[in-house]
Amino acid sequence: MSEKKIKKSKDRCTLQEILDVIGGKWAMSIIYALFPGKKRFSELERMIPGINTRMLVKELKNMEENQIVTREVFATVPPTVEYTLTEKGKKLEPIINELYKWGVEYVG
């Protein structure tokens, strides 16, 4: 058996941890929407078809906890909330772009 790649428990846990961070139904779509630059909550909501407000709040909170995005609140009326990718989040750009290319070729 050639199970070398994931024979170590540490390796396996790492992959599972990664998926906890970005493997959710919406996380990659949100990251993808943030590649061009910061976005307001309402912009993200418009950009991601099928997501609802509750899910977007939940995913962004999770991504903030995992240091994928930063959240800035501006004291406008009503308050403006903006999300930006962190360095850690930006490093996903080439990977998600490759995944997207794969999808265009094989799924879309």
Q: Toward a second copy, which CB reaches closer, 57 or 95?
A: 95
Candidates 83, 58, 60; CA nearest to 70 is 83
Q: How far is the CB of 1 from a second copy (least distance, A)?
A: 7
Q: Toward a second copy, which CB reaches closer, 35 or 71?
A: 35
Q: How far is the CB of 78 from a second copy (least distance, A)?
A: 19
CA gap 66, 88 in Å, rounded: 10
Q: How far is the CB of 14 from a second copy (least distance, A)?
A: 4
The footprint of a second copy (CB under 8 A) covers 1-6, 9-10, 12-19, 21-25, 28-29, 32-33, 35-37, 43, 47-50, 66-67, 88, 91-92, 94-95, 98-100, 102-108
Q: How far is the CB of 83 from a second copy (least distance, A)?
A: 14
Paired residues of 9 in beta bridges: none
